[in-house]
Amino acid sequence: MVNADGTGVTRLTTHPGRDVSPSWSPDGKWIAYHRDDGTGTSPDLYIIAADGSGAPIRVTADPAFDGFVDWGRRIR
């Protein structure tokens, strides 16, 4: 997270892998993203509170790629 002017940088995740493709929920309370743990398996989908409170929640654990998030529909 960062303010539009570049100040107030806040890291939301601390996993050593890559957390990519963030998508804000329509109400602004959550951010969904894919976690690539570097093992060569497909990334899993996670959500985290946009204010950084709480731990990330894994939404999928499927070996198939889970697509991209569009809060309400699945885009392939």
The sign one gets for the Cα dihedral 21, 43, 18, 55 is positive
Whether 1 contacts 13, CB under 8 Å: no
Model confidence, pTM = 0.75
Smallest Cα–Cα separation from 45: which of 72, 73, 26, 64? 64
16-39: per-residue pLDDT in tens?
A: 888 888 888 989 899 998 888 777
Residues 23, 45 contacting (CB under 8 angstroms): no
Find tokens 């303010």 and name the residue: 3
pLDDT at residue 51 greater than cutoff 80: yes
Q: Determine which of 2-6, 36-40, 51-55, 60-64 has the lowest per-residue pLDDT on average.
A: 60-64
Measured between alpha carbons, how far is 61 from 27 in angstroms, rounded to an integer?
Answer: 25
